[in-house]
Amino acid sequence: MALAFYSGNTFPALKPVLFALMLGFVGYGISLVLLVRAMRELGASRAGAFFGVYPFIGAILSVLWLGESVSLRLGLAFALTGSAAALLLGEKHAHAHAHEPLEHDHLHSHDGHHAHSHAHGEKGRDGYSHPHTHARLEHSHEHGPDAHHRYWHRDEG
């Protein structure tokens, strides 16, 4: 619209402009928010790997909605990318481990890692963020890599 204004051309119709704004909001805005949250929870490398799957979702949608042709190359790329995502999603293990004392602020639920009290007897809500402190905690449970499970295993260097 700025180009049309500065070049003296006519403005585009309102409907395509609104559609383009909505597409940008969903395709860029929401995906960027989800990427940042995923980096916080999964770590940058895992979040980046999942973010790399999105173009294939777009390719599948173009086949379904736009009638684009399916090629062997697209099928192989989809199979490899899907396999990698499945491996990352399935990455969980259980073992005894210790969490060192930690003070931080992040969005959390009140689970086994966040069993803390609140000021003035305030009942904690799930899915919100506030500064909090974790005492040392030793336990065993199934987990994947996240904000509370970033450590070297004993058999790793």
Q: What is the pLDDT of residues 81-138, one digit of tens each?
A: 888 888 877 777 777 777 778 787 777 766 666 666 665 444 555 566 778 777 887 8
Q: What is the pLDDT, as a whole number, of residue 18? A: 93
> Tell me, what's the pLDDT at 64?
93
Q: Output the CA torsion sign for 66, 57, 38, 119.
A: positive
Answer yes or no: are the C-beta atoms of 136 and 101 closer than 8 Å.
yes
CB of 140 within 8 A of CB of 96? yes
State the pLDDT at residue 120: 47
Contacts of 85 (CB under 8 A, 6+ apart): 49, 50, 53
- C-alpha distances out from residue 51 to 30, 31, 44, 142, Å: 12, 9, 10, 24
Computed over every residue of the chain, the mean pLDDT equals 77
Six-digit token string for 25 = 């909001």
The pLDDT score that the predictor gives to residue 15 is 93
Range among 55-59, 66-70, 126-130, 137-141 rated most confident: 66-70
Which of 4-13, 20-29, 136-145 has the least mean pLDDT?
Answer: 136-145
In angstroms, rounded to a whole number, what is the distance separating the alpha carbons of residues 2 and 82? 41
Q: pLDDT: is 75 or 97 the higher one? A: 75
More confident residue, 64 or 150: 64
Phi-psi map region of 62: left, alpha, beta (phi>0 left; psi -120 to 50 alpha): alpha
